[in-house]
């Protein structure tokens, strides 16, 4: 396992947060020097942080120019659909197979707490930005409580595309309402041990945002 220095980790987290929060434009070219100044450090840890972000699909380095946020492509969207279906379906089926296990009960508690956050956003009692975070965290919990490090690594690699797709497609209250109701449904599927319904739920939950995002990317 690679060990990063505190400066490398700080630069990495700052850059990643800047990307995920939408503070950086997908159309602009950014320099290492800018972020070195903002972070009050040399360019070396910034450069090393960027290499991590390249490997994770967040940015593209432009030689002698700087870097840009990696654009969401049709290939990315299809690959993420396949990856999420494979990993999350496995996790959900495992939970629904024996819903009385302590880890499943803990998961359901966390998912329902998360759902309360989503419902506050839907009711206008919390900012929409909180919904995007809660939506991502809902799916992260499904993966993370399996305690499979390979699943965790895969999820973190596609989380940027995940959040970008959420922002692109969940821009209307009726769409958010649909997603929240589907999240409520999967909690019931797990709690009632309806393992055979997992795949159809996952396909339905992902099909709409995947189709909308593909159309947006194709049409520029």
Write down the pLDDT at residue 10.
95
Which residues pair with residue 30 across a beta bridge? 67
For domain 74-218, give the CATH number.
Answer: 1.20.120.530
User: Do 208 and 157 form a contact (C-beta atoms < 8 A)?
Assistant: no
- The pairing of strands 59-62 and 66-69 is antiparallel
User: Do 85 and 202 form a contact (C-beta atoms < 8 A)?
Assistant: yes
Report pLDDT digits (tens) over 93-146: 999 999 999 999 999 999 999 999 999 999 999 988 889 889 999 999 999 999
Q: How far apart are CA 165 and CA 212, in angstroms?
A: 9
| Selection from 104, 27, 13, 33 nearest residue 68 by Cα | 27
Report pLDDT digits (tens) over 47-62: 999 999 998 888 999 9
Name the class of domain 6-69.
Answer: mainly alpha
Burial class of 92 by CB neighbour count within 10 A (0 to 12, 13 to 18, 19+): buried
Classify the phi-psi angles of 131: left when phi > 0, otherwise alpha if psi is within -120 to 50, otherwise beta: alpha
Q: Kindly list the domain boundaries of the chain, sorted by start residue.
A: 6-69, 74-218
What secondary structure letter does DSSP report for 188? Answer: H
DSSP alpha helix (H) spans, the chain: 6-20, 32-39, 43-55, 74-97, 102-122, 128-144, 149-169, 173-191, 198-218
Residue 218 has pLDDT above 90, yes or no: no
User: Do 175 and 128 form a contact (C-beta atoms < 8 A)?
Assistant: no
Q: What is the pTM of this model?
A: 0.78
Residue 217 has pLDDT above 90, yes or no: no
């Amino acid at each position: 396992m690679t060990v990063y220095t505190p400066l490398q980790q700080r630069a990495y987290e700052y850059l990643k947060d800047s990307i995920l929060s939408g503070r950086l434009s997908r159309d602009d070219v950014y320099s290492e020097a800018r972020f070195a100044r903002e972070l009050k450090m040399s360019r070396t840890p910034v450069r090393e942080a960027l290499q991590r972000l390249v490997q994770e699909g967040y940015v593209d380095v432009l030689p002698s120019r700087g870097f840009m946020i990696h654009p969401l492509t049709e290939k990315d969207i299809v690959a993420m659909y396949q990856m999420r279906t494979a990993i999350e379906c496995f996790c959900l089926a495992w939970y629904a197979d024996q819903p009385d296990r302590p880890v499943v009960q803990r998961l359901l508690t966390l998912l329902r707490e998360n759902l309360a956050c989503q419902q506050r956003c839907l009711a206008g009692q919390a900012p929409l930005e909180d919904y995007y975070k809660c939506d991502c965290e809902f799916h992260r919990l499904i993966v993370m409580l399996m305690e499979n490090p390979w699943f965790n690594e895969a999820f973190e690699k596609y989380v940027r595309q995940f959040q970008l797709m959420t922002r692109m497609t969940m821009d209307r209250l009726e769409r958010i309402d649909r997603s929240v109701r589907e999240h409520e449904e999967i909690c019931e599927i797990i709690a009632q041990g309806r393992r055979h319904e997992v795949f159809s739920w996952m396909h339905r939950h992902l099909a709409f945002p995947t189709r909308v995002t593909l159309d947006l990317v194709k049409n520029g």
